[in-house]
Amino acid sequence: MKNKGFTLVELLATIVVIALISGIAVVSYNSIHNRTRKKVYETYEDGMKVAIQELVIDEPNLLGVRVPLSYLTGQSSGGITYPLPSDDPYMDLIKNPNDKTDYCLGGSYAKAEIVNNKTIITVCLRCTHYQSSSC
């Protein structure tokens, strides 16, 4: 009579191999997720650069002025004396990829200035889990 089935050692070895593969997969997933989140914020920064360029074309007197993100998205004037672009804002609200209720408005700004005949654009994006290197 033959015994059918697996021994305890074979079962334990299989469980250990599955655990190792799962551990590697989780670490890889977290790394990919963090890189993707950073890319999302960098894309938002690029959008802010385009928005400040468009704003300065429309309102040249804002050249050299720190324009709050809340103004670019049409949410509040943020101290800017020009009419708020609420009907046609320069960009959409920036949402935190981790929390869709967090709009990254506090302390974020963009600034365009001319230095040595070159336009320099500075973007500072401040969110709950991210801050631009230029802040």
DSSP string, 99-130: -TT----TT-EEEEEEETTEEEEEEE-B-SS-
- Tell me what the pLDDT averaged over the chain comes to: 85
Q: What is the pLDDT of residue 46?
A: 92
> What residue ranges do the domains of the chain occupy?
8-124
- Report if pTM > 0.75: no
Instruction: Kindly report, residue by residue over 42-83, the tens digit of the pLDDT.
Output: 998 999 999 999 988 888 888 888 888 888 888 877 777 777
Torsion, Cα 44 65 114 110, to 10 degrees, reads: -10
Q: What is the pLDDT of residue 1?
A: 56
Q: Which residue has the higher pLDDT, 115 or 78?
A: 115
pLDDT band at 34 (very low <50, low <70, confident <90, very high): confident
Q: Which of 12-16, 36-40, 102-106 has the highest mean pLDDT?
A: 12-16
Task: Report, as an integer, the average pLDDT of 32-47.
Answer: 89
